[in-house]
Amino acid sequence: MRIGVITFPGSLDERDAQRAIRLAGAEPVALWHGDHDIQNVDAIVLPGGFSYGDYLRAGSIASHAPIMAEVIDAANKGVPVLGICNGFQMLAEARLLPGAHTRNAHQHFIRRDQRLRVENNTTVWTSNFEQGAEIIIPLKNADGRYIADAETIKRIEGNGQVTFRYVGLNPNESMNDIAGVSNERGNVVGLMPHPEHAVEPGFGPNTAVAMRSGLDGLKFFTSVIQNTLLANA
């Protein structure tokens, strides 16, 4: 099981995503934005960061990177793709996921241990969660406010494409408390919080049990590993 992690200029959390994949039991494969090659990986992660400084719109320049042609092609064929934070923004810019992101309503960058509810556990990235489970995943962004037109919101809510919702506090006034969405097929998932930062005891978010002990992020990766193994069996 090989999962590719793409490095764009300005990617920041790609090593963390690779570590998470390793801890979940798969082999991380470093992919480069400038290559037209996804090295035949089984799944793809677009990591967090500030690609190209996010100086235009967050994720917009990266969504036109050479490798994105292959990513779009693979996604359309059903290859699992996860976009984390800046990766989510790229997937939205690339129209692989519905909606868009604007500046947080309070205008600040915010970092916090964020409670989320799993709204759909039928995607390839969420199947190891209980439906409706509450999880804690670190959040850190400046442009994380999810928006979409009314029709799109209605459609994705109706289709069960809202994958994660903020619980307790909506950190940026995202519409309908939406933290993450999937495509209709459920192989492409994007979310603003960072599951790769909740995979190792001592380095994750605080939980009710102990500081920095949260491991909820691991299930994103174990889900996709399990689903890929099942599909290949």
Partner 1 sequence: MSTHVADTVENAIATPDKEQPYAALGLKPDEYAQIREILGRRPTSGELAMYSVMWSEHCSYKSSKMYLRQFGQKVSEKMKEKLMVGMGENAGVVDVGEGWAVTFKVESHNHPSYIEPFQGAATGVGGIVRDIISMGARPVAIMDQLRFGAIDHPDTARVVNGVVSGISFYGNCLGLPNIGGETYFDSVYQGNPLVNALSVGVLRHEDLHLANASGVGNKIVLFGARTGGDGIGGASILASDSFDAAGPTKRPAVQVGDPFAEKVLIECCLELYRLGLVEGIQDLGAAGISCATSELAANGDGGMIVHLEEVLLRDPTLTAEEILMSESQERMMAVVEPSKLDAFLAVVAKWDVETSVLGEVTDTGRLIIHHFGEEIVNVDPSTVAVDGPVYERPVAYPLWLDALQKDSASTLPRATSGAELREQVIRLVASPNLADKSFITDQYDYFVMGNTALSFPDDAGMIRVDEESGLGFAIATDANGRYCQLDPYAGARLALAEAYRNVAVSGAVPVAVTDCLNFGSPENPEVMWQFKQAVEGLADGCLELEIPVTGGNVSFYNQTGDQPIFPTPVVGVLGIIDDVARRIPSAWQDEGNNIYLLGYTRDELDGSAWAGTIHDHLGGLPPILDLSTEMDLAGLLQGAAIESLVLSAHDLSDGGLAQALAESVMRFGVGARVWLNDIIERDGVDATAALFSESTARVLVSVDREDDVRFVGLCNARNYPVLRIGVTDQRGDDAVLDVQGQFIIPVSEIRERSNETLPKYFG
Active site residues: 85, 194, 196
Q: Could you write out the three-class secondary structure of 200-223?
A: CCCCCCCCCCCCCCCCCCHHHHHH
Contact stretch for partner 1 (CB under 8 A) within 63-71, 89-97, 103-111, 172-180: 103-111
Contact stretch for partner 1 (CB under 8 A) within 37-45, 65-73, 93-101, 209-217: 209-217
Q: How far is the CB of 19 from partner 1 (least distance, A)?
A: 6
Contact 47, 33 (CB under 8 A): no
- 57 is a contact residue toward partner 1 (CB under 8 A): no
Q: How far is the CB of 200 from partner 1 (least distance, A)?
A: 7
> Would you call 26 helix, strand, or coil by DSSP?
coil
Considering only residues 140 to 179 of the shown chain, the ones binding partner 1 according to CB under 8 A are 140, 142
Burial of 10 (0-12, 13-18, 19+ CB in 10 A): middle
Q: What angle in degrees, to the nearest 10, is found between the helix axes of 14-24 and 218-232?
A: 60
Nearer to partner 1, 211 or 230 (CB): 211
- 52 is a contact residue toward partner 1 (CB under 8 A): yes
Contact 32, 62 (CB under 8 A): no
Give the span between the Cα atoms of 181 and 21, in whole angstroms.
21
Point out which residues bind partner 1 (CB under 8 A): 9-10, 12-13, 15-16, 19, 34, 49-50, 52-55, 108-112, 138, 140, 142, 194, 196-197, 200, 202-203, 206, 210-212
